[in-house]
């Protein structure tokens, strides 16, 4: 995989616009495993947040990626559980500012160890 396929380049710059591409490269069995229940999704997201933080990304950068992930999921994936359905409905009715705030809340939720 070359550098153009990653969200974070070697110069540590984040390209959140590549989030959809990164998600689309996840194989169907792994994607189903991640999305089958909300706890699995939150755990997967939490691990990715920890990696981003270890690379020096702040909450704003993580929220930008979470926003792109939310856009992708709302557009391309059917909710697999009640929590994902609620998130999708909130995403659909939210304006861009509300979606950004929701992305921040998801980053905080997934990053919590006690959640």
Q: What is the pLDDT of residues 41-81, one digit of tens each?
A: 999 999 989 998 998 999 999 999 999 999 999 999 999 99
pLDDT tier at 4, thresholds 50, 70, 90: very low
d(CA 3, CA 5): 5
d(CA 53, CA 46): 10
Q: Does the pLDDT of residue 40 top 70, yes or no?
A: yes
pLDDT tier at 9, thresholds 50, 70, 90: low
pLDDT tier at 2, thresholds 50, 70, 90: very low
pTM, two decimal places: 0.80
Q: Does the pLDDT of residue 10 top 60, yes or no?
A: no
pLDDT, position 18:
76
CA distances from 3 to 15, 19, 63, 93, 110 (A): 11, 14, 22, 35, 27
In order of their start, the domains of the chain are 19-111 (1.10.760.20)
Which of 79-88's residues contact partners 24+ apart within 8 Å by CB, and which partners? 80/32, 80/35, 80/36, 80/37, 81/36, 81/37, 81/38, 83/38, 84/35, 84/38, 84/41
Q: Percent of the chain beyond pLDDT 70?
A: 85
d(CA 93, CA 88): 9
């Amino acid at each position: 995989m070359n550098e153009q396929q990653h969200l974070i380049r070697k110069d540590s710059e984040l390209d959140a616009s590549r989030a959809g591409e990164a998600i689309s490269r996840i194989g169907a069995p792994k994607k189903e495993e991640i999305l089958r229940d909300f706890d699995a999704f939150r755990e997967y997201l939490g691990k990715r947040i920890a990696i981003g933080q270890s690379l020096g990304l702040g909450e704003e950068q993580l929220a930008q990626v979470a926003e792109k992930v939310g856009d992708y999921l709302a557009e391309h994936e059917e909710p697999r559980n009640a929590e994902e359905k609620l998130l999708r409905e909130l995403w659909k009715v939210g304006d861009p500012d509300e979606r950004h705030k929701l992305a921040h809340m998801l980053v905080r939720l997934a990053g919590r160890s006690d959640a």
